[in-house]
Amino acid sequence: MRKLSVFNSVSLDGYFSGENGDIQWVHAARPDREFGAFVEENARGGGELLMGRKTYDLMVKYWPTADARKNDPVVAERMNNLPKVVFSRTLDRADWNNTRVVKGDLAAEVRKMKEVPGEDMVILGSGSIVSALTKAGLIDEYQFVVVPVVLGKGRTMFEGVSENVHLRQTKSKTFSNGNVFLSYER
């Protein structure tokens, strides 16, 4: 069975996006060579990227561009070439390389995807998807980069989760820029 993970940045006050979907704060930490290497190493992994339409709209505006290839060549190469799935009720097609749109019932579709042989899957951004799949018990691992910033307002990726979800910490790493990587399993 394929494993499903989440990889998201969160603020100290628990938001994965600021007001109006702003994510610029994710890149506000001072430059850190070790953290940059960590991001590149994670990007080198295989798998399939899962996201909602809003995350797709944000990512497709940056990763296929010349700026992305110049500023983040390793991550851009992986983002552009890995298979991607966009869950959307409104998007009819996706123009980004190796991207398909899935319109069916989210939990049912992900259950089917987990049963198909292949590489693991990771959700990027996509708070409503994280929330729905957490409630359905389909996420195997939660990976967060806690960024040392307080937003005051924003969106949590667990909106609507009303029952406790108990997790076990499996990894942690602190970087000199103040970012902290945390990994948890069900």
pLDDT in tens, 116-167: 999 999 999 899 999 999 999 999 999 999 999 999 999 999 999 999 999 9
pTM of the model: 0.91
Give residue 155's pLDDT: 93
Structure letter (DSSP) for residue 80: H
What is the C-alpha to C-alpha distance for residues 16 and 126, in angstroms, rounded to an integer? 9
What mean pLDDT is predicted for residues 103-112? 95
pLDDT in tens, 85-99: 999 999 999 999 999
Q: Could you tell me the pLDDT band of residue 39, with boundaries at 50, 70 and 90?
A: confident
Domain ranges of the chain: 4-25+46-167
What are the DSSP E strand ranges found in 129-179? 141-147, 168-174
Starting from the edge strand earliest in sequence, which strands make up the sheet with 180-185, in order? 99-102, 84-87, 48-52, 121-124, 4-11, 141-147, 180-185, 168-174
Answer whether CATH 3.40.50.360 is correct for domain 4-25+46-167: no
CB 26 within 8 A of CB 9: yes
Q: Which residue has the higher pLDDT, 43 or 130?
A: 130
